[in-house]
Amino acid sequence: MADGPTSGGQRGETLLYLTDEQLRKGIEAMFFAYKGFTSDPDRILESRGYGRAHHRAIHFIHRSHGTTVNNLLAILGVTKQSLNRVLRTLIEDGLVESRVGTRDKRERHLYLTAEGALLERELSDVQQARMRDAFRSAGPAAVAGFRTVLEEMMDPEMRRRYQRLSENGL
Amino acid sequence: MADGPTSGGQRGETLLYLTDEQLRKGIEAMFFAYKGFTSDPDRILESRGYGRAHHRAIHFIHRSHGTTVNNLLAILGVTKQSLNRVLRTLIEDGLVESRVGTRDKRERHLYLTAEGALLERELSDVQQARMRDAFRSAGPAAVAGFRTVLEEMMDPEMRRRYQRLSENGL
DNA sequence: CGTTTTATGTCAGCCTTGTTGACATTGCCA
DNA sequence: TGGCAATGTCAACAAGGCTGACATAAAACG
C-alpha cells in the first residue's frame, strides 16, 4: 500500500523529506499543534458552558454573515440534528439571530448579535494571538509553506470550500 | 487584546502575512486540513468499531514500544479513566499487550501484538499516503515551513514532548 | 392547481470519548 | 511499617457526533 520512495530506501536525491520518519513527524506535529490550536478558545468556551461545536458555528456565521443553515451544514460537515442542537442554544442565549429569508422564505439566515460578535471577538483574539506568534516566529516563507501543505491535505471538496471562503465573503 | 501590527493597519513592510485576514485563513486551513488528516483512518476505525482515541493509543504505543500507562497519559493529555477504557478494549481484542514492569512492578508496559501492529500499519499507511501526497505536491521548502509553524503553535510542554519523541525512540 | 421537492426543525435514542470522584491494589522507598 | 506512586475500576455525567422518523412551510414543477 505504501509505494513511492519511502518504506525502506530513498531515491537519493532531495526526497529525504518523504521518508516514513518525516511523514510520521508530520502526523505527530499535526496532532500536537491542533491541541495547542484549540486550547485557548476551549478555556473561554468552557467558562461559558459552550464547546468547540459552538465555536465553529460562531466562527463561520461571523465569517459569512447571513449564511443559511444548509450552507453551514456543508461547511461544518455534521448532521443537521447536531448543528441544530448547538444553534438552538446560541439563539436562545441571544448570540445568534435567525431571520427568515426574503427571497426564499424556507431559508433561515444566520447572524451574530452584538453579544455574539463580542464572544466571537474574544475567541478569535486568543486564537489569532497564538497563530500570530507562531507566524511571526516562523517567518513569511514558512507561513506560505504551512498553508500550502495544509491545503494539499484537505479533501478536494473542503479545499474548494476553503478557497471560496477566501475569495468572496460567502 | 489583539495588539501588534494587525487589527486595522499594517506596518507596511513585509508584515502583510500577519494581517487578521491571513491569520483567519490560517485558522480555517487548520480546521479543514485536520478534517482531511483524520478522515482516512476514521473510515478504517469505524469499520472495526473503534474511534480516534483507539488510533491515538495505537499510534503512540507503536511509536514508543513498551511505554508505560503514565507516559501515555501525559502524551495524550486525557484522564486515566478515559485512556483505560480504550486500552481495556484493545487488550481484550488482542491488539495490545500489557506487561508488568520488571524494574518497577507497578508499571505496565504496553506493546502492540502482531495483530495490533497490523492495524497500526493499515492506519498509518492511509494517513502517511495523504501526508506524502501533500508533501510531494508542496515540496521540501513548504514542508519545512509547515513543520516550523506547527511546532510554534504547540504548547511548550507538548512541544518538548514532540521533540523528545523525534530524537530518541521514547 | 396539485404534487413533489427542498429547507428547516424536532423528538427519541444510541455511541464515543471526554470529565469527576471514590476506592482498591500493589509495590517502591524511606 | 507507613506513606506515596502507579494502576485499575466503578459509577455517573456531559458534549457532541450519529441514525431514523416525522412535521411544516414554501418553492418548484408539471
3-state SS, residue A134: helix
Same-domain status, B39 and B60: yes
Is pLDDT of B5 > 70?
A: no
Residue at A154 is within a domain: no
Is pLDDT of B6 > 50?
A: no
Each of the 170 residues of chain A gets a pLDDT tens digit; together they read 444 444 444 444 578 899 999 999 999 999 999 999 999 999 999 999 999 999 999 999 999 999 999 999 999 999 999 999 999 999 999 999 999 999 999 999 999 999 999 999 999 999 999 999 999 999 999 999 999 999 999 999 999 999 988 775 44
Same-domain status, B153 and B101: no
Do A58 and A112 touch, CB atoms closer than 8 A? Answer: yes
Average pLDDT, chain B: 90
Residue at A52 is within a domain: yes
* Amino acid B101: pLDDT: 85
* Amino acid B3: pLDDT: 44
Same-domain status, B146 and B106: no
Same-domain status, B124 and B153: no
Same-domain status, B122 and B155: no
Question: Closest residue of A to B56, CA-based?
Answer: A31
pLDDT tens per residue across span B89-138: 999 999 999 998 888 888 999 999 999 999 999 999 999 999 999 999 99
Residue at B52 is within a domain: yes
Same-domain status, B127 and B158: no
* Amino acid B7: pLDDT: 44
Grid coordinates given for A42: 476551549
ipTM confidence: 0.90
Whole-angstrom Cα distance, residue B65 to residue B71? 11
Whole-angstrom Cα distance, residue A36 to residue A28? 13
pLDDT tens per residue across span B37-83: 999 999 999 999 999 999 999 999 999 999 999 999 999 999 999 99
Q: Is A99 exposed, middle or buried (0-12, 13-18, 19+ CB in 10 A)?
A: exposed
* Amino acid A168: pLDDT: 58
Residue at B22 is within a domain: no
Instruction: Give residues 39-98 of chain B lying near strand C (Cβ < 7 A).
Output: 49-54, 77-79, 81-83, 85-86
User: How many angstroms away from the CA of A3 is the closest CA of chain B?
Assistant: 9
Strand partners, B97: B111
Same-domain status, B124 and B151: no
Task: Report which residue is nearest nucleotide D20 when distances run from CA to C1'.
Answer: A81
Q: How many domains would you assign to chain A?
A: 1
Grid coordinates given for A152: 494539499
Strand intervals (E) in B16-107: 67-68, 96-100
Residue at A92 is within a domain: yes
Same-domain status, B78 and B50: yes
Q: What is the CATH number of the domain that holds B56?
A: 1.10.10.10
Q: Which of B125, B153, B158 sits opposite A2 (nearest CB)?
A: B125
pLDDT tens per residue across span B148-167: 999 999 999 999 999 988 77
Residue at A162 is within a domain: no
Residue at B76 is within a domain: yes
Please report, in angstroms and rounded to a whole number, the separation of the first and last CA atoms in chain A: 39
Q: How many CB pairs under 8 A join A and B?
A: 212
With an 8 Å Cβ cutoff, is A33 touching chain B? yes
Residue at A45 is within a domain: yes
pLDDT tens per residue across span A138-157: 999 999 999 999 999 999 99
Chain A neighbors of B25, CB-CB under 8 A: 147, 166
Same-domain status, B44 and B65: yes
Q: Which domain holds residue B152?
A: 139-170
Same-domain status, B101 and B150: no
